[in-house]
A and B are shown apart, each in its own frame.
Chain A
Amino acid sequence: MTMVAVGDRSAPARVSRFLRRHRRFSLFVTLGGPVTWMMLVYVGSLLVLVAAAFFKVDSNSKVTTDFTTQNVVDAFTTGSFIQTVIRSVLIALAVTVLCLAIALPMAFYIAKIAKPRYRRGLIVAVLLPLWAGYLVKGYAWKSIFTPDAGKFAARKGGGFLEATIGWTPGFGKVAIVITLAYLWLPYMVLPIYAGLERLPPSYLDAAGDLGARPFRTFRSVIMPILIPSIAAGSIFTFSLSLGDYITPRIISGAKVQMIGNLIDQLQQQNQALSAALTLWPIAIIIVYLLGMSRLHAFENV
């Protein structure tokens, strides 16, 4: 692509030649803006956040600029905080497992069994709920989970689940896991579907010809190929669930707390401790991302 009509003296042609000869300048022009923005706004803010975790809070709960490690020590050693972190991680893992259990058969059906002309429609149907508001879906589940208020209620009956199948998990941890799994399910279906689409049908036929039963084929052929896709999907389900504090607040009020709720509440009372607590999700996510990148989650997904 170096053959440019050299005689062309028009202004755009001269600009083009200049940009071609000065590749560093072109790189600077294209990358300068976005990188400056991300460094100033985002990385800058993260550094401020980490710094804020080491600021001392005076007796009027105002943040000073004196250095202290007390907040970070508190954030990482207080028993109730650690309990909340463990609860959050367990909820995020449960959400990931539940999403995987639903997404795997769904993606397999859509990619390999459904008639090709229905495939695109089905995958769009899976993605479409992402476009309905996040809060709206949270409150929809809250109403669905509403238990029967008993005989003292103004009106008998419960929400959708109580009325249709006569059972509801109430507003506890199970309800939170179901709601979060609902919110992030499409993020798990999509990468698995994409992974299955790349899986040549001949592999499955070959496995069948060599005498493998479907389960053996699934375990020895499909799963190894799907590991990066599942890892990529789990980054969404795990990370989005871990930091969520609106869903637990909507579903169970103050009853079930996750790490995000602590950070949110402490913003009013003790900003430095709140900043120190954000180091928990940051650390957990970094460890998780490193683990997933060993499973090749970032390659070609």
Chain B
Amino acid sequence: MRLSFLARFGLRGITLIGLAFLYVPLVVVVVLAFNKADSTLWPPTGWTLDWWRQAWDTDAPKDAFVQSVQIAVVATVIALVLGTFAAFAMARFSFFGKSTISYLLVLPIALPGIVTAVALKNTFVREIDLGLFSFKVGFGVHSIIIAHSTFCIVVTYNNVVARLRRSSPNLLEASADLGAHGLRTFWSVTFPLVRSALVAGGILAFALSFDEIVVTSFTAGPGDETLPQWILNSFGRSKAVPVTNVMATVVMALSIPLAWLAQRLSDTTESISGR
């Protein structure tokens, strides 16, 4: 399409403004982590590393960080196993109710977080009677993990199913023609094909769990505190605000290489919208 110089210039301008819109808040957070004054007013009055020292010396944010990592790792492993199994079933078999199941898997991200959160809380708090036996999930690290796994499945599922759909069935036939049995084909052909999709899906699931606050605050026990919970709570105690900026900067610095890796390993467009 031939666009006038002015139109091109305008589009480039809007793109630059859009990118600035996306990055200014992040820069503000990083700058405020070094701000001498204990306030969010702009511009900063001077520079200090005190908040970094304070973050290093306080246990609560570090404990919360470790807690978040632990929960995210377990939730990611569960989501990887269940999501991958579901992806193989959906890509390789056709059966009655298939489209219903594809909706079922996506439901936890289509419905607002608060709906999922209230639903899970209402269930975990009750004594559930299944006839043969009854049990109660209760609240603690385990309930956070169950909740996180549930909405992480869709991410791992999306990544793997997209890769399986794009990979050619000829490869599997070639493997069989060369005399490989099914498990051998899986190990030597299919698994290497989906490996990077697994890693990308795993990273995204980890990030989703690590950052989650709504479902977490409804399913956490009284003694548990993930990093997002710590951040939310510490903005109530205004003293901790600059330390929060430090923690935010640390998390951003750690997540950039992860984000870069996930982008490299998954097709850009399949990573989020999937399908």
Contact = CB atoms under 8 A, between A and B. Distances in A.
Nearest to B98: A31
Contact of B112 (A239, A275, A289): A239
A133 B126 CA distance: 32
Nearest to A282: B115
B22 A182 contact: yes
A16 B271 CA distance: 32
Contacts of A5: 179, 181
A157 B112 contact: no
Given A5-B181, A129-B23, A143-B40, A260 B112 contact: yes
Contacts of B272: 127, 186-187, 190
Interface string B163-195: 000000100110111011111100000000000
Interface stretch (A69-77, A79-87, A108-116, A169-177): A108-116
Nearest to A250: B235
Given A124-B259, A239-B111, 16 more contacts: A1-B169, A1-B176, A16-B184, A17-B181, A34-B83, A48-B126, A102-B14, A126-B22, A128-B256, A133-B227, A182-B22, A190-B269, A191-B273, A263-B114, A278-B115, A282-B115
A131 B207 contact: yes
B112 A242 contact: yes
B164 to A, nearest CB: 12
Contacts, number: 307
B181 A34 contact: no
B11 interface: yes
Interface of B: 1-4, 7-8, 10-12, 14-15, 18-19, 21-26, 28-29, 32, 37, 39-43, 81-83, 85-86, 88-90, 92-93, 95, 101, 104-105, 107-108, 110-116, 118-123, 126, 146-147, 149-150, 153, 157, 169, 172-173, 175-177, 179-184, 207, 211, 213-214, 218, 227-228, 231-232, 235, 244, 248, 251-252, 255-256, 258-260, 263, 268-269, 271-273, 275
A193 to B, nearest CB: 8
A217 B2 CA distance: 10
Interface in A11-44: 12-13, 15-17, 19-20, 23, 26-27, 29-31, 33-35, 37-39, 41-44
A37 B28 CA distance: 42
A103 B22 CA distance: 12
B150 A37 contact: yes
8 residue pairs, one from A and one from B, having the closest CB atoms: A243-B112, A16-B182, A143-B40, A204-B1, A140-B25, A31-B89, A34-B86, A136-B248
Interface string A88-106: 0000000000000011011
B181 A8 contact: yes
With most chain A CB atoms within 10 A of its CB, the pick from B121, B149, B271 is B121
A144 B179 contact: no
B3 A35 contact: no
Interface string A198-225: 0000001101100000100100000000
